[in-house]
Amino acid sequence: MKNTKFEPIKLDYDSVAAAEWKQELDIKIEHLDKLKDYLSNFMFEVTDYNLFKSEPATTICNLITNSYGKDFPSYINLDALYTLVGFNQIEFNNLLHQVNSISIDLDWNTYEAPFPEFHTYTINQRQNDAYNLITYALNGIFASRDKLGVHVFPFDITKGMNGMVSFDMAKNLMRPNNNFILNIK
């Protein structure tokens, strides 16, 4: 008995989803820059934005109290202290919400984000076998076409193979139909 280890075959790459992810990342970085720019208007400095990310309200409270608290009487409450130093909580919360509304995991210090996987893979050996058989059949058809010098109509092949192949108009080629392959259990 032959023991073969299953290795997934890469079927497709979702370039639209990858472009959307990149666009969302750029927007999140833009919002984060606006937040950092707003915080740069004050005497305090946030040294680790990843720590700040986990507890922003507490961090801001500590930074403002430590930086400005000694300049005002001790009986002034935190909201009054915010007002006196010009810290607008509503604007801060809006900027923070804009950053957090985009659900991309981002390092707030380095702006690095793990790039997600946008490839589609086969998930079992039966799918691999079907992909290989369909590819073999297509290669045979096109080898015959080239040797005989006849034109092969992609629509006829698609129709004749009953949904096992599709025509990729962007690349102008026939290929195994990903939906057909992925529906094999």
What's the maximum distance between 2 C-alpha atoms anywhere in the chain?
95
Would you say residue 7 lies in a domain?
A: no
Listed in sequence order, the residues at least 6 apart from 141 whose beta carbon sits closer than 8 Å to its beta carbon are 152, 157
Would you say residue 10 lies in a domain?
A: no
Q: 83 with 19, same domain?
A: yes
The model's pLDDT over 108-135, given as tens digits with 9 standing for 90+, comes to 999 999 999 999 999 999 999 999 999 9
Q: 87 with 126, same domain?
A: no
Q: 162 with 87, same domain?
A: no
Domain stops at, among 65, 100, 135: 100
The number of distinct structural domains making up the chain is 2
Would you say residue 165 lies in a domain?
A: yes
Distances (CA, A) of 52 to 33, 49, 61, 129: 14, 5, 11, 51
Q: Which residues of the chain have pLDDT under 70?
A: 1-4
Structural domain harbouring 85 = 15-100
Residue 166: strand pairing partners? 175
Would you say residue 164 lies in a domain?
A: yes
Q: For residue 74, what are its two tokens?
A: 């001790």
Closest CA to 162 of 150, 145, 179: 179
Q: 143 with 92, same domain?
A: no
Would you say residue 116 lies in a domain?
A: no
Domain stops at, among 41, 68, 100: 100
Residue 74: its pLDDT value, please? Answer: 82
Closest CA to 42 of 66, 23, 20: 66
Domain stops at, among 100, 131, 149: 100
pTM reported for the whole predicted model: 0.76
Strands 119-121 and 10-13: antiparallel
Residue 12: strand pairing partners? 120
Neighbours of 64 (CB within 10 A): 19
Would you say residue 1 lies in a domain?
A: no
Would you say residue 94 lies in a domain?
A: yes
H-run or E-run covering 39:
helix 15-39
In DSSP notation, 1-28 reads -------PPEEEE-HHHHHHHHHHHHHH
Residue 1: its pLDDT value, please? Answer: 45
Q: For residue 116, what are its two tokens?
A: 């997600």
Residue 168: its pLDDT value, please? Answer: 85
